[in-house]
Amino acid sequence: MPESPGRAALDAVRLTAGYRAQAPVLSEVTASVPRGGFTAVIGPNGCGKSTLLRAFTRLLAPAGGEVLLDGRAIAGLRTSELARRQSLLPQQSPVPDGIRVAELVQRGRYPHQRLFAQWSPEDEAAVARAMELTRIGDLADRLVDTLSGGQRQRVWIALALAQDTPLLLLDEPTTFLDIAHQFETLRLLDSLRAQGRTVVAVLHDLDHAARFATHVVAMRDGRVRAAGPPAAILTEERIREVFGLDCRVIPDPDTGTPVVLPR
Ligand SMILES: Nc1ncnc2c1ncn2[C@@H]1O[C@H](COP(=O)(O)OP(=O)(O)O)[C@@H](O)[C@H]1O
Ligand SMILES: [Mg+2]
């Protein structure tokens, strides 16, 4: 059952979207992001996860349907308001030439700055907090393009955090990280959720989705195949349906959450 529009932090309502001169990638997608939850978007490569996040953040205009942010159509919001309410960590971002870590994180504050206003103590504090949470303080003066993939990913996450929005969308935030940093990132997102933020993340690791998500949206071929609590979605049958993967699902001995064992 689709949740009723307006109750969630974000709703896609019969959303059709894609790229110029191509068949739409998303066809009539209806999906909700519960407020205060951690929503994991899962699905095979090319199924439209990044496209959905772009439509959620208005980087992509829908060809049909709409996206609601707190129940209001995002099409009608001012860009500055949108930027104060949601931030996106894209799957890949080009690093501006010659930029240092602290400078890049400071860019997260642009949406908060007013014309003629100076950099404020509040801006300074948000940047410091974002760098502390992502543990990149010791990298502050480094050139971003000299960092390892994992370090760079933490800088991008810090940029999104510095924006200090109630809604945070992250496209594969753990992909370039080693296993320890993957967990550190997931725990960070979990703690942000516990502090009241709404988190949406594209995750490839289903065990991570099982452990950290409160809501899972499973996509295939530009459609939502299933959405609900992790335990209801991460089943042998659904995983076969969504990924075409034959697997066993067993409970994690410590957490009881589903663990996926491909056969
Ligand atoms: N900028 C683009 N221009 C044209 N086609 C694109 C673009 N980005 C993605 N696509 C296509 O849209 C489909 C869905 O891509 P994407 O949303 O990136 O999938 P996912 O994130 O699930 O891997 C793919 O077929 C992909 O080739
Ligand atoms: Mg993607």
User: What is the secondary structure of 45-96 as a DSSP string?
Assistant: TTSSHHHHHHHHTTSS--SEEEEEETTEEGGGS-HHHHHHHEEEE-S--PPP
In a domain, 141, yes or no: no
Cα–Cα distance measured from residue 242 to residue 150, given in angstroms and rounded to the nearest whole number: 29
Q: Is the CB of 49 under 6 A from ligand 1?
A: yes
Q: Is residue 179 part of a domain?
A: yes
pLDDT for 30-42, tens place per residue? Answer: 999 999 999 999 9
Question: Strands 198-202, 215-220: parallel, antiparallel or unpaired by DSSP?
Answer: unpaired
Residue nearest to atom 24 of ligand 1 (CA): 46
| pLDDT tens for each residue of the chain, 263 residues long | 344 444 699 999 999 999 987 899 999 999 999 999 999 999 999 999 999 999 999 999 999 999 999 999 999 999 989 999 999 999 988 899 999 999 999 999 987 776 667 888 999 999 999 999 999 999 999 999 999 888 998 999 999 999 999 999 999 999 888 999 999 999 999 999 999 999 999 999 999 999 999 999 999 999 999 999 999 999 999 999 999 999 999 999 999 999 999 99
Asked if residue 54 belongs to a domain, the reply is: yes
Residue (of 80, 47, 81, 74) closest to 58 by Cα position: 74
Task: Report yes or no on 115 lying in a domain.
Answer: no
User: Which atom of ligand 1 has the smallest separation from the CA of 18?
Assistant: 12
Instruction: Identify the burial level of 222 via C-beta atoms within 10 angstroms of its C-beta, where 0-12 means exposed, 13-18 middle and 19 or more buried.
Output: buried
Q: Using CA positions, which residue lies closest to atom 17 of ligand 1?
A: 48
Nearest CA to ligand 1 atom 6: 19
Q: Could you tell me if residue 258 is inside a domain? A: yes
List the domain range (segments joined by +) for residue 23.
Answer: 10-94+166-262
pLDDT digits (tens, 9 = 90+) for 170-224: 999 998 889 999 999 999 999 999 999 999 999 999 999 999 999 999 999 999 9
Q: Is residue 174 included in any domain, yes or no?
A: yes
In CATH, what number is assigned to the domain containing residue 237?
3.40.50.300
Distance 43 CA to ligand 1 centre (A): 13
Q: What is the pTM of this model?
A: 0.93
Task: Note whether residue 123 is domain-resident.
Answer: no
Closest CA to 127 of 77, 92, 161: 161
Instruction: Give the closest ligand to the alpha carbon of residue 42.
Output: 1
- What's the number of domains the chain is made of? 1
15 in a structural domain: yes
